[in-house]
Structure 1
Amino acid sequence: MSASSLIPHLVADKVQQFVEEECIPSDALFRAQLGEGAQRWSTYPPIIDQLKARAKKLGLWNIFLSKTHYKEGAGFTNLEYGLIAEQLGKSLVASEVRLTFPPKAGNMEVLAKYGNDVQKREWLAPLLDGQIRSAFLMTERPVASSDATNISLTMRREGDEYVLNGSKWWSSGAGDPRCRVYIVMGKSNPTHQDPFKRQSVILVPAGTKGVTVKRMLSVYGYDDAPHGHAEIIFENARIPASNLVLGEGRGFEIIQGRLGPGRIHHCMRSLGAAEHALEWMITRVNDPSRSTFGKQLNEHGVIIEWIAKSRMEIDAARLIVLAAAHKIDTSDAKGALKEIAEAKVIVPQVSLAVIDRAVQSFGAAGVSQDTPLATMWAHQRTLRIADGPDEVHLQQMGRNENKRAKALQKKLEMQRNKAEALLRQHGIQAKMHL
């Protein structure tokens, strides 16, 4: 049975059942099987493969590639997948066991959309089958990477090879012991007159001579093992020119195509995390053993207000995400820049607000390992930086919105003139000041 043989709402129901009955209960076992210390980077919890087999049996494997833009897709639009993917944010393991965890999903989109037949055969096929993992290398420590024109890792062409020198960090997925390929953005033509044509994307096999994983980075104290975020050094690393994706100078085109759907996937899962946090909060405040100042927690007006605000914020944010997903379906990621940016800014803020209220309702327990709330908050906080910080999206949206100024002034002047004319027709002398 394949996912494409079912209609979207039935798949969504199956995913919700799978997440709530099998994935969430497995989160604790996943953490236990990871172990401690260096073992966390060399061990892969067996529960993951067990759940993967279960997901495949249920027909819930690899359903994130939209049928709108990918022949490898499972048959759903981005909008339909949005209704499904929200469930994945409720569990640590749910996305992983269905192969939709970042950066894997985005990396597979790059190969599916821009890779040639050889690259798809060598890398995409085993990625889609779950045999290997990949990492995404774009951000750099020495420069402000929120402006991607600052990327400084050099890619110098020498014969049939590119020689890479520089460093990357926050290389998502590089800690996974099964990681076999890095998708790397570098500067291949630093003197090109168009600053957006100076970058290229190349596939670098993990373990290549001259490529060194320097260290793993923590996220608010969490190491994020075994997935991990690495700082990686390139010293005269020689990569076959055939590993170049799409063509020299096409890096920005590739990355923008990758980040659009990827940002939406983040938002979809973030809403699931917010929903799960709200569930924890409601359960907590209705615990009869929890009372303060002579009242049960749910009898305090502020608590009821938290629940109401959380419900409204999640529902409003969901509509924004689904609108962005629909815009991608009807055009593409470039045509949905405004909608994607709106979702990317609003959703993490909503998710953080809801999770923070849930933490507050639990008191000290909310920041401990006894609930998933602290980990959820840390992950959601990173999304206000990842894939472009809020400020970059707001600046872009503000500039684009402000371009309407002349047209709006002209429209308002027309409306004012018509209003004054109507007043004169009725014998009323008035001057409207707008």
Structure 2
Amino acid sequence: MMRCRFAAWAAAACLAALCTGCFDRKELEQQAFVTSLGIDEAPQGQVDCTLRIALPQSNNGGTGGGGGGGAGGKEPLAGSGPVTYRARSVIEALNLANTSIERTLSLSHLTDVRFGASLAQRGIARHLRPLLRFREFRRTIYVFISRTTAREEMQAETPVVEKTPTRVADDIDLLSKYNGLMVEMARLHDFTNALDAGHEGALLPLFAVNREVAADPAGKQGVQADRTSYVAGHVARAGGNPVEWAGAAVFRGDKMVGYLDGRETTLLRLLRGTIKHAKFELADPLAHRGLLSLSLNREHRPRYHVRLGQPLVMVIDVPLEADLLNMDAGYNLQGPRQLARLDASLSREVSQEMRRVVEKLFRQYGVDPIPVARAARSQFATHAAFAAYPWEARLRDAQVTVRADVHVRRFGVQIAQAESRV
């Protein structure tokens, strides 16, 4: 019995010696935490890697790490903006960064990687490989596209509510679940899976700098644009964060082939069934003047019917419920006949707009990000037969029918329009 106790105590002592708290021998004060990474195209096949470094905070709430007080108590350069390094690869740029950053770089707090548009158009597979192979890059980081350059967008980013840009990606991820103007935020793992999947087009969120807002951050000159825009970088507004997120970047393979604006992205997400509620405005189909503002709610997931052949035949059924939020016209909605007319008109208008989005994706870009291809997998005996089918080539002349079935269920707190009095 005593021998067993002695052996147990000896084993516990050995285990206690083996369990160390700081296994990498790096203290927090010895590390510089990269929170965002931007990758842009550079001459001669090189890349410009832009790093945003977290500003270190001392225990008393001030900046700086440890004693000393720095150069006259000034704020560290990490608080003044991102830094950029030109190299032949992302890993080489991270290595070169320690020629001017006095702490060891750590990617443990990296939240997002953004690619410049020109780089994405040439293909990003080569630049994804180090992100997938190097163990410090977690597959849960967000990936998106900067419509100009990642460096310009990172320099201009000034959050409206958050104190630092570090939490912006997490906030937008939550926001995209309730706002259809942007495609859902993509994580590195999900994006690479979409690239590897057969006959599926990948999508990434699209960020852009509104140069009118950047030139007048306080908004003193007011709104200069003449009309409403859903294009990232051209939203009609004054003041606020110069960076905007709206729409989606569309990929064929690893190359970006085009964009969708915010309105088209709302319709695409309803076609994909990836959003449950989306606000949407369209011209009043009954009054032929004014606008209708709706909340389109997913009744259940869309259904895709595919008949293989030449041409390819597709039918997409999208059942939707609608809440009426605003109506400019003066008619009322009392009575089933008026409601039936409104439902039929809305179904026709939404179906036509969805069809235009599908034709843009299929005919102009030759991609299927919905993806309808998944519904056709069961018609092939093997995965090899499915992979060998010329799906993308058949998309361009496919016969597509989109049937949005819209039913207005709720009218707010007013059914009859108030009569104007003179």
TM range (shorter): under 0.3
TM-score by length of 1: 0.25
Structure 1 or 2: more strand by fraction: 2
- Structure with the largest fraction of helix: 1
What TM-score, normalized to structure 2? 0.26
- Structure with bigger gyration radius: 2
